[in-house]
């Protein structure tokens, strides 16, 4: 049971109608694109890898003549003189102390770890000899786990240079990114968080809770983390996730913080959907020491499930904005958003009526490919 099974599960739960280039970064809030990423983002027509036809897009969505907002297969490129382009330029030129402690160099390395979760050769990841693994040669994998029944994958290990334990969750590896995100538009907040101390009004989507608790993911990573914690009792814990893996990362981070009384849990997600309501968002912020939620352009997934159905993002958002700066070429600006989780001037500002449509923007974060590519 792989992608189609996950989609079927989502359909049962809804109420209503039915991705590693190294990115150098710097200590400013502006991140310039590498030449390789420049080429990828300059191609506004389609993706070279994976093929547009493999993304599960409707035929009309593959029309090369549509505007970026209407065409989910097109990377979003904002002009420098647009309102969003000007906003991104102003934000990216702020002093480092205005960036709320965001470190783009560390974030780029964590995005590389996230990208590795999409490599298909699990033995290569377990032995840390995949091509993408060479970007971070000192990482020590402890366990790679794939639940074939639910099409869920994650890995856990120790990062000596950071003195940190790291857990990474992959998003769905199906061919139906677009359809999967479209179906989430009708999901509701309808489940409580089953732990002592959770606020009575806390609600999250039961689909994500089922994926985490009913699959082997929760039991496997609870146990593996406990073992790793005995080996490395000091230092922070990083929990990463892309797409649906971002939702799992939120739940895993909360579970581990509560189970083990962790004092330093840091969560980095890339293109994550909304998981719960405002009470969940506030509870999450109280439990984790650091949270960075990355969005990119008009990525479709962070716009679902919609706010109007009771969902609210966790903070703090970091919006990656690709700007065509004329003679200077394409530059990626990093906008550190406010601490509400739903900054109206960040990703939400790029979504028409709160709904974004780009699949292409979902597949590249901080220069790292969030999909299974030839360079794995």
Measured CA to CA, the distance from residue 168 to residue 152 in angstroms comes to 11
219 located within any domain: yes
Query: Does residue 98 carry a pLDDT above 50?
Result: yes
Query: Does residue 334 carry a pLDDT above 60?
Result: yes
pLDDT (tens digit per residue) in 102-123: 999 999 999 999 999 999 899 9
Confidence grade of residue 292 (pLDDT, cut at 50, 70, 90) = very high
Distances (CA, A) of 47 to 54, 73, 243, 301: 10, 7, 18, 18
Number of domains in the chain: 1
| Structural domain boundaries, residue 284 | 3-369
254 located within any domain: yes
374 located within any domain: no
Q: Residue 126: which H helix or E strand, with range?
A: helix 122-126
pLDDT given for residue 53 in this prediction:
33
376 located within any domain: no
pLDDT (tens digit per residue) in 51-64: 333 333 333 333 33
239 located within any domain: yes
Q: Which residue has the tokens 């538009």?
A: 185
The set of residues, in sequence order, having a beta carbon less than 8 Å from that of 50 and lying 6+ positions away, is 363, 371, 372, 373
pLDDT (tens digit per residue) in 181-235: 555 554 555 788 888 889 999 999 888 998 899 999 999 999 999 999 999 999 9
DSSP annotation of 16: S
pLDDT given for residue 194 in this prediction:
84
375 located within any domain: no
Tokens read off for 326: 């004329």
pLDDT given for residue 182 in this prediction:
55
pLDDT given for residue 178 in this prediction:
54
pLDDT (tens digit per residue) in 350-359: 998 888 989 8
Question: Cβ atoms within 10 A of the Cβ of 348, count?
Answer: 19
CATH number at residue 355: 3.40.50.1820
pLDDT (tens digit per residue) in 303-320: 999 898 899 999 999 999
280 located within any domain: yes
84 located within any domain: yes
């Amino acid at each position: 049971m792989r992608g189609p099974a996950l989609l079927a599960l989502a359909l049962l739960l809804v109420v209503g109608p039915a991705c590693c280039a190294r990115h150098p970064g710097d200590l400013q809030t502006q991140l310039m694109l590498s030449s390789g990423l420049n080429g990828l983002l300059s191609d506004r027509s389609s993706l070279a890898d994976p093929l547009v036809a493999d993304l599960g897009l409707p035929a009309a969505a593959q029309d090369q003549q549509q505007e970026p907002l209407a065409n989910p297969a097109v990377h979003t490129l904002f002009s420098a003189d647009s309102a969003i382009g000007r906003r991104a330029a102003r934000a990216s030129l702020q002093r480092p102390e205005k960036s709320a402690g965001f470190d783009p160099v560390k974030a780029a390395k964590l995005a590389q770890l996230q990208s590795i979760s999409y490599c298909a050769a699990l033995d290569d990841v377990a032995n840390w000899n995949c091509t993408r693994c060479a970007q971070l040669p000192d990482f020590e994998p402890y366990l790679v786990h794939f639940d074939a029944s639910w099409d869920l994958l994650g890995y856990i290990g120790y990062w000596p240079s950071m003195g940190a334990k790291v857990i990474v969750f992959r998003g769905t590896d199906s061919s139906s990114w677009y359809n999967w995100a479209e179906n989430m538009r009708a999901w509701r907040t309808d489940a409580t968080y089953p732990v002592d101390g959770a606020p009575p009004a806390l609600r999250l989507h039961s689909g994500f809770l089922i994926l985490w608790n009913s699959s082997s993911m929760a039991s496997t990573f609870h146990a593996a983390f406990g073992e790793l914690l005995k080996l490395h009792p000091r230092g922070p814990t990083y929990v990463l996730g892309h797409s649906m893996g971002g939702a799992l990362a939120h739940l895993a981070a909360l579970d581990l913080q509560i189970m083990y009384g962790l004092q330093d849990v840091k969560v980095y997600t890339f293109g994550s959907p909304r998981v719960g309501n405002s009470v969940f968002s506030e509870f999450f912020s109280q439990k984790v020491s650091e949270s960075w939620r990355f969005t990119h352009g008009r990525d479709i997934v962070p716009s679902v499930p919609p706010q109007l159905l009771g969902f609210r993002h966790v903070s703090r958002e970091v919006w990656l904005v690709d700007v065509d700066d004329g003679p200077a070429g394409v530059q990626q600006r990093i906008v550190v958003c406010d601490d509400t989780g739903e900054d109206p001037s960040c990703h939400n500002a790029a979504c028409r009526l709160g709904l974004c449509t780009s699949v292409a923007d979902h597949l590249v974060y901080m220069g790292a490919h969030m999909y299974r590519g030839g360079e794995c």
